[in-house]
Amino acid sequence: MQRRTFLMASAAGATLAVAATGGLVTASATTAPAAVRSLEELQAAIDRARPGARIVVADGTYTVPSDRPITIRNKQGTERAPITVVAASRGGVVLEGEQSFVLDASSHITLSGFSFRQSSTLDIPPNCSHIRLTRNDFQLADIEGLHWVMVRADDSKVDHNHFHGKSTLGIYLGIEGAGTEEMAQRVHVFRNYFSDHTFAGSNGGEPIRLGVSPRALSSAHAVVEYNLFERANGDPEAISVKSSDNVIRHNTIRNSLGGIVLRHGNRNRVEGNYLVAGTEGVRIYGNDHVIVNNHLAGLSGRAMVIGSGSERDHLPGESPDDRRGNDAPDRVLIAYNTLVNNKGTLSGESQRPHEPRDVTVADNLLVGDTGELVAMANTVRFTWSGNILWGAGTDGNIPADGRTRVDPKLVTGADGIARPAADSPVIDAGTLRRPPVTHDIDGERRGRHADVGADEYAHRPPRRGPLTTADVGPDAR
């Protein structure tokens, strides 16, 4: 039996709701499509949809029958004319039941403005492409082991959504691919709000899991940017990267257990992220990563860890069990990061047999009042240069020619971030001849001689800082 309630939306309101998805809408309210008011009407509208169709669903609560999910099959929009299914008002359409949308062999489809309350995973399968989930609210059933959204389709977008309210094993958002080793290509995850995952276990509650161990050597070319994580306590890894050739940038993780972990894979770039007032920071395994312009402050755990390996390198053809081991970090660049007042600053690991090799640690600002600022285990052919250390914490085992101990003269701004003052010795103190960055964490252009740390001194207020809830989620710009 289908339960349905709805609120009547005006034609103008429906037009505004469609406009919010980024689709092409005429100025006249009289041209807005009439809202469908039942699941049967919605399915019929989808079945006859052509490129550019915009299907507006009247506000209300709809229970989707388990044997009749909303099916989008063999529907092909285009880049300029996607097929859009949108709630009449943002969050005004609540979908209950076992399933909501089932997609199959379709492309350029946008789903916008829904409140998903299902008891099974929303799956974006690999025989689809260019699927967009935007401005939705995800709070699926709090079932042990249930993953909420799984994206396996190339060129998909997940943006301006809110994922919240899980207390059991399972992830909010997973990105995988076809088969057992492939990854979806060019997935873009941006401006989402991930909050309130309270699973108390030690593993398996990640907000974002970008791959799994058998897919570690597959290039995904995903971009995860401008997302906010708060109270993300379901796993030590808020962003868990288990694939190769991805970019993780300009995210903010606040008051959370989880950090950014390059658990598997190679050639990932972690740039311009804020991790503040939480527990874990950035942890690194695998080869040829670039870790630049990050600000880690007030963490009660380890701010930055250059890991050790149970394997020297993961190789094609190895068994799934072998692929689960930790790959020792090789040829990693760690530069222009600011680590301030964390319990552990920069450290290594000794519990596995393979040490990190050929890592460059340059032009970082390390400030702390406890323990050792650098506490590495075994290393091979490390290059240290231009790092500035300060505080009551001891230098640790950083080579003398790789650091300078001097007060960086930091000033804490209204956003709680400590940045260099006008007379700070970090200014123009960078040593890398070919800096791997053109701008700092706040969007300021780096000068000819870059400043040490994540922030380039500027006279004007920073262009950007840590994200807030106003910057992300269904109602953000």
Which of residues 220 and 324 earns the better pLDDT score? 220
* 354 in a structural domain: yes
Share of the chain above pLDDT 70, in %: 93
What is the longest distance spanned by two Cα atoms in the chain?
74
> If pLDDT is split at 50, 70 and 90, which confidence band does 31 have?
low
Residues 107/73, Cβ–Cβ less than 8 Å = no
Q: What is the pLDDT of residues 246-279, one digit of tens each?
A: 999 999 999 999 999 999 999 999 999 999 999 9
Q: What is the pLDDT of residues 118-137, one digit of tens each?
A: 999 999 999 999 999 999 99
Domain extent, residue 367, equals: 121-471
pLDDT at 32: 62
Segment holding 241, helix H or strand E: strand 237-242
SS3 label, residue 217:
coil
Mean pLDDT taken over the chain = 93
Residues 279/255, Cβ–Cβ less than 8 Å = no
* 101 in a structural domain: no
> If pLDDT is split at 50, 70 and 90, which confidence band does 320 have?
confident
Kindly give, in sequence order, each residue whose CB lies less than 8 Å from that of residue 67, ignoring residues fewer than 6 positions away.
none
Taking the C-alpha atoms of residue 222 and residue 368, their distance in angstroms, rounded to an integer, is 34
Residues 183/175, Cβ–Cβ less than 8 Å = yes
Residue 57: beta bridge partners?
36, 87
pLDDT, mean of residues 429-438: 93
pLDDT at 330: 98
SS3 label, residue 359:
coil
* 5 in a structural domain: no
Residue 229 has pLDDT above 80, yes or no: yes
pLDDT, mean of residues 337-356: 97
Q: What is the pLDDT of residues 200-209, one digit of tens each?
A: 998 999 999 9
Which of residues 21 and 270 earns the better pLDDT score? 270
Residues 128/101, Cβ–Cβ less than 8 Å = no
The enclosing domain of 266 has a CATH number of 2.160.20.10
* 95 in a structural domain: no
pLDDT at 66: 95
pTM for this predicted structure: 0.92
Q: In one letter, which amino acid is 125?
A: P
- Count: domains in the chain: 1
pLDDT at 268: 98
Kindly give, in sequence order, each residue whose CB lies less than 8 Å from that of residue 151, ignoring residues fewer than 6 positions away.
124, 131, 158, 173, 174, 175, 176, 184, 187
* 1 in a structural domain: no
DSSP codes, 113-177: SEEEEESS-EEE-TT-EEEEEES-EE-----TT--SEEE-SBT-EEES-EEEEE-SS--SEEE--
* 151 in a structural domain: yes
Kindly give, in sequence order, each residue whose CB lies less than 8 Å from that of residue 142, ignoring residues fewer than 6 positions away.
165, 166, 167, 168
DSSP codes, 279-325: S--EEE-SBS-EEES-EEES-SSEEEEE--BSBS---TT--HHHHTS
Residue 85 has pLDDT above 50, yes or no: yes
Taking the C-alpha atoms of residue 420 and residue 424, their distance in angstroms, rounded to an integer, is 6
Residue 193 has pLDDT above 60, yes or no: yes
Residue 12 has pLDDT above 80, yes or no: no
* 83 in a structural domain: no
Question: Counting beta carbons within 10 angstroms of the beta carbon of residue 268, is it exposed (0 to 12), middle (13 to 18) or buried (19 or more)?
Answer: buried
> If pLDDT is split at 50, 70 and 90, which confidence band does 89 have?
very high
* 460 in a structural domain: yes
pLDDT at 19: 36
Q: What is the distance in angstroms between the CA of the first residue and the CA of the last residue of the chain?
A: 38
